[in-house]
Chains A and B, each alone.
Chain A
Amino acid sequence: MTKEELISKLKTIVQPYIQNEDAFNNLSEATDFINDLKINSANLVDVILDVEDEFDIRIENDDMEKMTSVKAAMDIVNEKLAAK
């Protein structure tokens, strides 16, 4: 999967939870889920469940805590996919 494909999949996943359209439209690797997209922190667990379903992976608590930006999510997804 290319970087662009991965970002595009993550973009689709976070869309229901975002509260800042501009930041969403300009979503990049550097985008932060809470500070930029204004996702309610309680919804981060829902984003993670959706990521698990999309990529058929399981994300543990330590990784979950780190997964607060597009970049961090990409790293974790890539790592889990490589380990499959």
Chain B
Amino acid sequence: MKNRVVITGLGVVAPNGVGVDAFTKAIKNGVSGITFHQQLADLNFSCCIGGIPNISEEKKLEYLTPLQLRGFNSSGILYGCIAGMDAWKDAGFEVDPDSDLDFDSGTVFGTGTSGVDKFREAIYKLDDKQVKRLGSTVVVQTMASGISAFLGGILGLGNQVTTNSSACTTGTEAILMGYDRIKNGQAKRMLVGSCSDDGPYIWGGFDAMRVMTYKHNETPKEGSRPMSETASGFVPGAGAGALVLESLESALKRKATIYAEILGGNINSGGQRDGGTMTAPNAKAVQRCIQDAVKDSGILAEDIDTINGHLTATSKDSLEIENWTTALGRSGTGFPYINSLKSMVGHCLAASGSIESVATVLQLKHQFVFPNINCEDLHPKISALISEEKIVKHTINTSLNIAAKASFGFGDVNGCVIFKKYN
């Protein structure tokens, strides 16, 4: 007997909105969170624009104690703690340092790199032969599992507390890892999500690879152009998304608000074979991931009403659309709605899958499809595959039952999760 798994809490820290209410408003209105950053220009970046969530000093103190904030220099952990604690409270739980240990609740909270600014600070001290002067805060902020360790302690979680890492698939993978654990009866509740640092030290490597756009430094809000003919690379972003997953039984017993149900999903890899490389996807594996997610969910491809794609605004967008059409056997006007949150927030890297999943779940809960901005000039390779009306440019209110969310990451790794409106 497998447990049904539902979503009972959401939290989000995105470049265009912090908190579920602000974020919902932003995505409905097509608000871009991309801005110009002088620091990137000063460091000679080709791409000087990015999406950084706006968090005040007062806001930090609502989530972390003055002691936790001493020597604190890890933006990803900050975003993850805010999103995670918000999701927990949204699900109806208290955040109390004296709460009883809860062996039925755990977390899988992913990241790519933790505390890169803190690490830089430490390296300067080390090279200056000041290792003794590092203090106690370097390890917990730079260990990959820093974010799950912070959240585990803040919430008193007694089930599995871990961090996963699979590049841009991280957030979507975290959801499926938590889902599996509840489905199999190993936990009643799992806080799942992911976070990513912001700034030059996390984005520099991508700038060097020339995969970020350098054509929109004067027009930041137009920079992130998924599916556009003039897309010229992704815009980097940062933040965190968090979801409380719970067995249906536990949610009903608590009379919790249910946002949506997770029907299933799939995680696989293209093995960097058959056209797949460290940085490019094996199309066969992507298609198989989508098909296996559909199969695992016990639905048919035609049941999918809307897709939230990976769609980063690189030359791979049309290949992704082609993969969806092949995998689902749907094209033209028979294709579901499809959108990319990255048009508004950029590519939040390890945080992308979770932030975008929060957006997808909000669409199901409130029955709308958020707009794709900056693709008024749809790429002809895409319009040859699917009808342009499926790529909405203004929010539409429509009846949605099933949504698919996929993420693809460096290392040729794929993840696809299927969400359903809860009735």
Residues of A in contact with B (beta carbons under 8 Å apart): 16-17, 42-43, 45-46, 49
List B residues 32-76 near A (Cβ within 8 Å). Answer: 66-67, 70-71
Contact B70 A49 (CB under 8 A): no
Query: Which of the candidate stretches B14-22, B130-138, B257-265, B294-302 sits at the interface with the other chain?
Result: B130-138
A22–B70 Cα distance when bound, in Å, is: 22
Contact A46 B133 (CB under 8 A): no
Contact B66 A49 (CB under 8 A): no
Please encode chain B, from 188 to 222, with 1 for each CB lying within 8 Å of some chain A CB and 0 for all others.
00000000000000000000000000000000000
Q: A17-B67, A45-B135 are in contact. List 12 more A-B contacts (CB 8 A).
A: A16-B66, A16-B70, A42-B136, A43-B67, A43-B136, A45-B136, A46-B70, A46-B71, A46-B135, A46-B137, A49-B133, A49-B135
Q: How far is the CB of A27 from chain B (nearest CB, A)?
A: 17
Contact B136 A46 (CB under 8 A): yes
Q: How far is the CB of A57 from chain B (nearest CB, A)?
A: 13
Residues of B in contact with A (beta carbons under 8 Å apart): 66-67, 70-71, 133, 135-137
Q: How far is the CB of A29 from chain B (nearest CB, A)?
A: 24
A12–B135 Cα distance when bound, in Å, is: 18
Contact B135 A16 (CB under 8 A): no
Find chain A residues with CB under 8 A from B66 CB.
16
Find chain B residues with CB under 8 A from A17 CB.
67
Of the A-B pairs whose beta carbons lie under 8 Å apart in the complex, a sample of 12, sorted by A's number, is: A16-B66, A17-B67, A42-B136, A43-B67, A45-B135, A45-B136, A46-B70, A46-B71, A46-B135, A46-B137, A49-B133, A49-B135
Q: How far is the CB of B405 from chain A (nearest CB, A)?
A: 39
Residue of B nearest to A60 (CB): B132
Find chain B residues with CB under 8 A from A45 CB.
135-136
The DSSP consensus for interface residues of chain B is loop
A45–B140 Cα distance when bound, in Å, is: 14
A42–B71 Cα distance when bound, in Å, is: 14
Residue of B nearest to A45 (CB): B136
A16–B71 Cα distance when bound, in Å, is: 12
Find chain A residues with CB under 8 A from B136 CB.
42-43, 45-46
Q: How far is the CB of A44 from chain B (nearest CB, A)?
A: 8
A10–B302 Cα distance when bound, in Å, is: 69
CB-CB nearest 10 A-B residue pairs: A42-B136, A46-B135, A45-B136, A46-B136, A49-B135, A16-B67, A43-B136, A16-B70, A45-B135, A49-B133
A17–B136 Cα distance when bound, in Å, is: 12
Find chain B residues with CB under 8 A from A46 CB.
70-71, 135-137
A16–B67 Cα distance when bound, in Å, is: 6
Q: How far is the CB of B56 from chain A (nearest CB, A)?
A: 21
Find chain A residues with CB under 8 A from B67 CB.
16-17, 43
A17–B135 Cα distance when bound, in Å, is: 13
Find chain A residues with CB under 8 A from B133 CB.
49
Find chain A residues with CB under 8 A from B137 CB.
46
Residue of B nearest to A64 (CB): B132
A17–B70 Cα distance when bound, in Å, is: 10
Q: How far is the CB of B60 from chain A (nearest CB, A)?
A: 15
Q: How far is the CB of B152 from chain A (nearest CB, A)?
A: 16
Q: How far is the CB of A73 from chain B (nearest CB, A)?
A: 17
A49–B137 Cα distance when bound, in Å, is: 12
Find chain A residues with CB under 8 A from B70 CB.
16, 46
Residue of B nearest to A52 (CB): B133
A42–B140 Cα distance when bound, in Å, is: 11
Residue of B nearest to A61 (CB): B132
A1–B71 Cα distance when bound, in Å, is: 29
Residue of A nearest to B65 (CB): A16
A43–B67 Cα distance when bound, in Å, is: 10
A12–B385 Cα distance when bound, in Å, is: 68
A42–B136 Cα distance when bound, in Å, is: 6
Find chain B residues with CB under 8 A from A16 CB.
66-67, 70
Find chain A residues with CB under 8 A from B135 CB.
45-46, 49
Find chain B residues with CB under 8 A from A43 CB.
67, 136
Q: How far is the CB of B175 from chain A (nearest CB, A)?
A: 32
Chain A CB count within 10 A is highest, among B66, B67, B133, for B67
A46–B137 Cα distance when bound, in Å, is: 9
A43–B66 Cα distance when bound, in Å, is: 13
A42–B133 Cα distance when bound, in Å, is: 14
Q: How far is the CB of A34 from chain B (nearest CB, A)?
A: 14
Residue of B nearest to A42 (CB): B136
A46–B72 Cα distance when bound, in Å, is: 13
Q: How far is the CB of B97 from chain A (nearest CB, A)?
A: 10
A42–B141 Cα distance when bound, in Å, is: 14
